[in-house]
Amino acid sequence: MFCYNCGCHLSEHDFCTSCGADVSLYKKIMCMSNRFYNDGLEKAGVRDLTGAINSLRQSLKFNKNNIEARNLLGLVYFETGEVVAALSQWVISKNMMPEGNPASGYIDKLQKNANRLDMINTSIKKYNQCLEYCRNDNPDMAKIQLKKVLSNNPKLIKGYHLLALIY
C-alpha cells in the first residue's frame, strides 16, 4: 500500500514514514475495499452474481482505483448479459492502468467478434422495445419479442425477469 499524499510505501505505522501524513483511516478504507472485493470474488465463484455485483460496487465506493474489483465487476456484468455495463467498467479500468491490464484483453476479445457484438447490441435494442411494449400495456408483443431476445442472448438476466413479470 502506498501513501495517498507522497506515494511512499507504507509501513505498519499509522503515519507515513516519508511525509508524516496520518494514514490510519486511509488504511481502514483500503482494507474495507479489499474485503468487499474478496466477498465479491467469493460470491462470483459460487455464481451468486447479484451478490457479487453488490459487493464489488461497495468495494469501488471505498476505492474507485481498485482495478481488480473493477475488472471482476465487468466480468460479472458480462456474465449477466449487461455488455454495455461491462465495457464501461473495463474502459475505466484500462484508462486507470493502461499497461498490463487484463481489461485490454477483454475489450479486444469482444471487439474482434463483431457479429456477436452486433447481435448483443440488437438484442439490447429489442429488450428496450419490450420495455416500451410493457409501458404501453401491450404484454403480448413484449412476450413474443422477449422470447426472440432471449434466444439470441440467453445470458440476459433482465430479460428473464421481465418475462417472468409478464407471465
Given a contact cutoff of 8 angstroms between Cβ atoms, the answer to whether 156 and 164 are in contact is no
Does residue 5 have a pLDDT over 80?
Answer: no
Q: What is the pLDDT of residue 119?
A: 85
Helix (H) or strand (E) holding 156: none
3-state DSSP call for residue 22? strand
Q: What is the pLDDT of residue 116?
A: 81
- pLDDT tens by residue, 143-163: 999 999 999 888 888 999 999
pTM: 0.82
Grid cell 482494507 is found at 31
Residue partners of 86: CB distance under 8 A and separation at least 6? 74, 75, 77, 78, 106
